[in-house]
Amino acid sequence: MLYRRCGKSGLKLPALSLGLWHNFGHVDVLDNSRKILQLAFDRGITHFDLANNYGPPPGSAEENFGKILKEDFAGYRDQLVISSKAGYYMWEGPYGEWGSKKYLVSSLDQSLQRMGLDYVDIFYHHRPDPDTPLEETMATLDLLVRQGKALYVGISNYQAEEAAQAIQILKDLGTPCLIHQPKYSMFERWVESGLMDLLGNKGVGCIPFSPLAQGLLTDKYLKGIPEDSRAAKSHGFLQKSAITEDTLARIKALNEVAMERGQSLAQLALSWLLKDERVSSVLIGVSKTSQLEDSLKCLDNLDFEEKELSRIEQILNK
């Protein structure tokens, strides 16, 4: 495993981190979740990323992770970086989402209880709150570090301007922003319009989520939409309408580049993100160990020739 410094902090993260957004809830097979976590750790993935609402049902990913942690990883807590988040809807009433002090403190307390932990390594505010003063939200992150419930704090889904404000507030409070978790892939590149430069200049790490565009950047869709894919499930985040002829053409062209590099399409997509040294780690999600094995192989080829990058840009901008 390759480990990278997270921004200007003392913390190193594995180049690939494992996200538990999907496939670790009560609706999933616990033994499969266990095997994925075991393989990830054996291969040097030390960072496991959760959130209060991961499941389904919400909270169940943390409960299952806590169970596996206790049974299989009890002696390895100090070798693990465990993160959680709060910001999206979690419980009924006026205090169950967004960014108030009331919600964030309560949510982290619940997360720690579900996972059986005294602290998390990283606690994120999951999304900006348009109604709560940013000073209140950031002061709460600072408080949670001072209480010993989190070692580091971060933000997620913040645009460049609001991220800059959050980073400055946290700096003034004495609890630096460690990391930003944005949605970033070959197919979603809004972070390149100011956010990446900001993070690089401020010494804040970056850990992209959905690096495979909900599975679009894999060989899964090269021949259409499989019945067991996310796009085939009407309740999922990836809708059939997103898979247009133009998108399929780009996927096939990118796959040709990957094959010439001796990579799968997923490996190409991950390597492409990791080419940027400002990316501390890339957050991957898998539903089976074979997918994890495939993703790990991206680390065998992280170098790109200029002509390859130019060809990729032509495909993406076509």
pLDDT exceeds 60 at position 235: no
Which CATH number do you get for residue 167?
3.20.20.100
Q: Per the domain annotation, does 198 fall within a domain?
A: yes
- 151 found inside a domain: yes
Rounded CA-CA distance 254/244 in Å is 15
pLDDT at 243: 80
Contact 118, 145 (CB under 8 A): no
Residue 316 is assigned to a structural domain of this protein:
no
Average pLDDT, whole number, for the chain?
A: 95
Predicted pLDDT at 223: 77
Within-domain flag for 8: yes
CA distance 9 to 117: 23
Task: Provide mean pLDDT across the span 20-30.
Answer: 97
Q: If pLDDT is split at 50, 70 and 90, which confidence band does 229 have?
A: low
Per-residue pLDDT reduced to its tens digit, 99-145? 999 999 999 999 999 999 999 999 999 999 999 999 999 999 999 99
**pLDDT (0 to 100) of residue 228:** 60
The mean pLDDT value for 159-185 works out to 98
Quick one: pLDDT band at residue 293, thresholds 50, 70, 90?
very high
Residue 246: inside a domain: no
218: left (phi over 0), alpha (psi -120 to 50) or beta: beta
Average pLDDT, stretch 293-316?
97
Express each pLDDT in 37-73 by its tens digit.
999 999 999 999 999 999 999 999 999 999 999 999 9
Segment 68-91 mean pLDDT = 98
Q: Is residue 64 part of a domain?
A: yes
Q: What is the mean pLDDT of residues 249-265?
A: 97
Residues spanned by the domain of 298: 3-215+269-303
Domain membership flag for residue 24: yes
Whole-prediction pTM value?
Answer: 0.94
Name every residue whose Cβ is closer than 8 Å to that of residue 149 and which is 6 or more positions away in sequence: 108, 109, 112, 119, 120, 123
Round to whole Å and give the CA distance between 7 and 12: 9
Angle 184-190-192 from CA coordinates, rounded to 5°: 90
Give CA–CA dist 290/216, Å, rounded. 17
Angle, helices 160-173 vs 195-202, to 10°: value is 20
Kindly state the helix (H) or strand (E) to which residue 172 belongs, with its residue range. helix 160-173
Q: Judging by beta carbons within 10 Å of its beta carbon (0-12, 13-18, 19+), is residue 42 exposed, middle or buried?
A: exposed
**Count of structural domains, the chain:** 1
Percent of the chain predicted with pLDDT > 70 = 94
CA dihedral 34, 38, 180, 257 (to 10 degrees): -100
Q: Is 276 contained in some domain?
A: yes
Mean pLDDT of 213-234: 75
